[in-house]
Structure 1
Amino acid sequence: MHVRATTRDDLAVVDALLARSYPKLLKKDYPPSVLVTALPLISRAQPALLSSGTYYLVETDGHRILGAGGWSRDRQARTVGHIRHVVTDATATRRGVGRLLLGHVLEQARVQGVTQMECWSTFTAEPFYREMGFETLGPIDVPLQPGITFPAIRMKQRLL
């Protein structure tokens, strides 16, 4: 497995990864009423993020995509970063994909001067982020569209 930066050309593969993995991974932690409104909105790649230079894919030597995710810098607090749109293929969980990806994300942010990383984790991923050194701050409702929010967990980690 290796990590590489995405480009706009990766839009279709990231869309496919999100669309096939989020429904399976989130099903046990969210009621159908939340998933029916949220999944169509969160299961789509964000073109600007893919071309940002801070969004990455984990792929095998055979070019199978196993994970995606990245970070962005806070617009006002330049030393604060935000974890963005992380997903692991539902068939590849617990095989080091997320650990490899998040390790790369945190190191790249650290190199670029980020001293604190924030994350709005799904309920499903909270234990993973805690294992990776994030502290749970509490629940948050992430606005997706007017009248549609997604329940999540706000977390942070100090990068040294």
Structure 2
Amino acid sequence: MLTIRPATRGDLAALDALLARSYPRLLKADYPPSVLVTALPLISRANPALLGTGTYFVAEDATGTLLGAGGWTRGRPAPGQARQRRGNVRHVVTDDRTLRQGIGRAIMERTFDSARAAGATCLHCLSTRTAQPFYAALGFTPLGETEISLAPGIGFPAIAMLKELTPGGAFPGRSRKTMT
């Protein structure tokens, strides 16, 4: 049984371990070693500010093992949008040993529901090259390549993507699955 719940500060160590184990394996095929050697130490750590926000979620199995995480926060407005109407997808990860089992999709469904309930009308995402097909399957549209500034002199190539949230909508062409 998979449980999706809001993250707490108590999840920090398990989330750090998940990110440190999964990101190097997941990103290896799509990024050169020269990028990964500088980026991985910075992106493979949980952001404590996200934990306890109520909009960042973890997925765990019946034993309490973390299998994934992700969520959203309010974002800067795009031109012509009110501040409170746009959200940003934040630090999504799935255990590399449990890919294609619906864990990432379940986390994102919870994220969409949470964002809609808070009045967001769209979600912006800075996707890795690896995750772009995943986000596209969830209805995100690519806006173009970008670079995330991780630290002075350290950039990480990404793809900016956007998803319009429809009231009560789930995923294109799919029925909603119930997750606890």
The answer, yes or no, to whether TM exceeds 0.5 is yes
Query: Residues 140-155 of structure 1 correspond to what in structure 2 (within 5 A)?
Result: 140-155=146-161
Q: Shift in Å at residue 68 of structure 1?
A: 0.5
Task: Measure the CA separation in 2 of the matches of 1:73 and 1:15.
Answer: 23
In the alignment, structure 1 residue 130 sits paired with structure 2 residue 144: no
Which residue in the other structure is 1:109 paired with? 115
Q: Which residue of the partner structure matches residue 169 of structure 2?
A: none
Q: Is 1:32 the counterpart of 2:33 in the alignment?
A: yes
Amino acid across the alignment from 1:32: P
Deviations 1:125-150 (A, max 9, x none): 00000000000111000010111110
Q: Size of the alignment, in residue pairs?
A: 160
State the Cα distance separating 1:75 from its structure 2 match.
4.5
What secondary structure is seen at the aligned counterpart in 1 of 2:50? helix
CA distance in 2, matches of 1:51, 1:65: 16
CA RMSD of aligned residues (A): 0.8
SS at match of 1:91: helix
Encode CA deviations 1:26-85: one digit per residue, 9 max, x unaligned: 000000000000000000001111121111100111111110111000145210000000
Q: Provide the identity percentage.
A: 55
Which structure 2 segments of 5+ residues have no match? 78-82, 167-180
- Matches of 1:47 and 1:157, distance apart in 2: 26
Listed as ranges, the gaps of 5+ residues in structure 1 are: none
Aligned to 2:125: 119
Secondary structure of the residue aligned to 1:9 is helix
2:94 to 88, 91, 99: 88
Distance in 2, Cα, partners of 1:8 & 1:103:
22
* Structure 2 counterpart of 1:49: 50
